[in-house]
């Protein structure tokens, strides 16, 4: 038996609204995969950009006219909007003919699936390394109003397609939300002898950032991964309920609209710092410049109730990296040219905002530049995700000047070297109070010395 996909009923309404008895319309299916079954939460019609900068649905008279480039661009834009753990599960095609029965059309289906998979695996920062290895294609017949779904193994496209048990559910899936915040405060040296564009430099930044994220130790409501157990979020929630001493009849008092009080988890992350004894292992090298990170990244991910602690932590990591990669991409797209002669440039990356998908309760992401308005976000969400929201529904997770990057020129780095080198390499764990007391003591000694000098 093939895989099972549980789909929110809103997807059926979306496909029925766009179906045309004489044409084909493609789009993307959004959801979360799991070992036993997948959860489809939303379907969004693929659009393309016209010469006048407006967009239109990619509706064609013949299935073979659907262009792979439309789906590739749409895949990237949609993935930027998804929280970690959520992916594009595959494609849907609304049209009058069975796309699986005709050999030529089936070849076209494989080509479309293979093209979006090639994009996903080429950019692990944005798409993650856990993206689905079996992508689905859902066909909605605009004449018979029937659904047919198949699965394709993207790692071996020569294999035959597998049937998928597609089920619409009226009761939305219960999701657990995990909140996390990551501080960006750090400084990254770079060693290129040539002046780098922000686009090229951003790849080094992403690799450094991802390494930091992977090296952190994660706790979710105080629980972390251990070799001896495989906690699920549902199990953790049950343990918390038992610790609080809640009786079954009183659990409903914690329910709130959309999400239960106990369904929201808190994630904290720590990075182990080297001991002072390890200073000898450091090598002092000369860099051509550096990039300083400021601010923080906010994360809210959603997992199905059977998700393990490891899956939840992977979703958080993926969300943080995806969000940072999306900001760098959007910022690079907004830069027409780097005309400044100064090497010391501050880049204010767009801040993260969220809007709620009412059918599932999932928070989708968009990014707001300083000059953007909430009305701009409303239009962007409608265009990219097909979701109707109002300006009042746009929620900013971060302050205006978050996720800031500053490039420092080599001369500036040299000027600071003598002052900061010892402090940076010694990795001192002394508290700020000790430094303050030392300064006060030095001032007192100086005053006494001056007084003695004039009295003698």
CATH number for 132: 3.40.140.10
Give the mean model confidence (pLDDT) for residues 33-48. 92
**What is the total count of domains within the chain?**
2
> Is 323 found in the same domain as 215?
yes
Average per-residue pLDDT in the chain?
80
> Is 141 found in the same domain as 197?
no
Q: In 3-state terms, what secondary structure has residue 443?
A: helix
> Is 189 found in the same domain as 116?
no
Residue 289 — φ and ψ, nearest 5°?
Answer: 175, -170
Dihedral angle computed from the Cα positions of residues 35, 36, 40 and 45, in that order, rounded to the nearest 10 degrees: 60
Question: Which one is predicted more confidently, 388 or 188?
Answer: 388
pLDDT for residue 1? 57
- Among 168, 186, 221, identify where a domain stops: 168
Q: In 3-state terms, what secondary structure has residue 191?
A: coil
- Among 136, 168, 200, identify where a domain stops: 168
Q: 14-23, 108-117, 153-162, 284-293 — which is least confidently predicted? A: 284-293
> Is 35 found in the same domain as 11?
yes
The domain of 144 spans 4-168
pTM: 0.81
Q: What angle do CA 228, 233, 235 make, to 5 degrees?
A: 65
> Is 162 found in the same domain as 213?
no
Question: Which one is predicted more confidently, 436 or 68?
Answer: 68
Residue 427 in any domain: the answer is: no
Kindly indicate the confidence band of residue 337, based on its pLDDT and cuts at 50, 70 and 90.
very low
C-alpha distances (whole Å) from 216 to each of 183, 225, 309, 377, 427 are 12, 12, 15, 33, 18
Q: In 3-state terms, what secondary structure has residue 344?
A: coil
Closest CA to 12 of 169, 151, 143: 169
Residue 326 in any domain: the answer is: yes
- Asked whether the predicted pLDDT for residue 246 surpasses 80, the reply is no
What is the maximum alpha-carbon separation in the chain?
Answer: 107
Residue 442 in any domain: the answer is: no
For residue 337, how many C-alpha atoms fall within 13 Å in the half-sphere facing its CB? 3
Residue 75 in any domain: the answer is: yes
Q: Using CB atoms within 10 A of its CB, is residue 106 exposed (0-12), middle (13-18) or buried (19+)?
A: middle
Count Cβ atoms below 10 Å from residue 219 Cβ, excluding itself. Answer: 15
The kind and range of the H/E element at 417 are helix 410-426
> Is 22 found in the same domain as 161?
yes
> Is 56 found in the same domain as 161?
yes
> Is 216 found in the same domain as 135?
no
């Amino acid at each position: 038996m093939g895989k099972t996909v549980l789909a929110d009923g809103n997807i059926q309404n979306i496909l029925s609204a766009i179906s045309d008895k004489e044409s084909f319309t493609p789009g993307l299916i959004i959801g979360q995969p799991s070992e036993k079954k997948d959860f489809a939460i939303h379907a969004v019609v693929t659009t393309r950009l016209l010469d006048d900068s407006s967009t239109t649905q990619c509706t064609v008279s013949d299935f073979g006219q659907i262009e792979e480039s439309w789906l590739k661009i749409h895949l990237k834009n949609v993935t930027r909007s998804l929280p970690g753990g959520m992916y594009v599960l595959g494609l849907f095609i609304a049209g009058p003919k069975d796309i699986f029965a005709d050999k030529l059309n089936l070849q076209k289906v494989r080509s479309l699936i293979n093209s979006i998979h090639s994009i996903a695996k080429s950019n692990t920062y944005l798409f993650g390394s856990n993206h689905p290895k079996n992508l689905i294609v859902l066909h909605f017949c605009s004449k018979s109003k029937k659904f047919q779904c198949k699965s394709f193994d993207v790692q071996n496209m020569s294999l035959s397609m597998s049937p998928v048990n597609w089920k619409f559910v009226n009761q939305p899936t219960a999701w657990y939300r995990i909140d996390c915040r990551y501080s960006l405060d750090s400084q990254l040296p770079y060693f290129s002898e040539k002046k780098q564009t922000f686009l090229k430099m951003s790849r080094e930044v992403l690799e450094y950032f991802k390494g930091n994220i992977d090296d952190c130790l994660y706790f979710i409501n105080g629980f972390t991964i251990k070799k001896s157990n495989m906690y699920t979020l549902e199990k953790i929630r049950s343990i918390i309920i038992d610790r609080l001493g809640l009786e079954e009849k009183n659990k409903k008092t914690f329910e709130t609209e959309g999400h239960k009080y106990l369904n929201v988890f808190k994630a904290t992350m720590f990075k182990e710092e080297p001991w002072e004894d390890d200073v000898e292992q450091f090598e002092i090298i000369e860099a051509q410049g550096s990039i300083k990170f400021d601010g923080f990244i906010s994360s809210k991910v959603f997992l199905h109730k059977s998700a393990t602690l490891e899956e939840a932590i992977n979703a958080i990591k993926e969300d943080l990296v995806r969000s940072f990669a999306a900001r760098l991409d959007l910022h690079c797209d907004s830069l027409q040219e780097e005309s400044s002669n100064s090497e010391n440039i501050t880049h204010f990356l767009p801040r993260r905002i969220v809007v709620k998908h009412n059918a599932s309760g999932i928070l989708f992401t968009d990014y707001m530049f300083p000059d953007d308005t909430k009305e701009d976000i409303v239009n962007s969400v409608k265009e990219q995700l097909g979701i109707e929201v109002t300006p009042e529904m746009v929620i900013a997770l971060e302050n205006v000047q978050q996720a800031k990057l500053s490039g420092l020129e080599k001369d500036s780095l040299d000027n600071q070297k003598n002052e900061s080198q010892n402090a940076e390499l010694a990795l001192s764990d002394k508290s700020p109070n000790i430094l303050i007391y030392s300064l006060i003591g030095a001032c007192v000694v100086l005053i006494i010395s001056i007084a003695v000098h004039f009295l003698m």
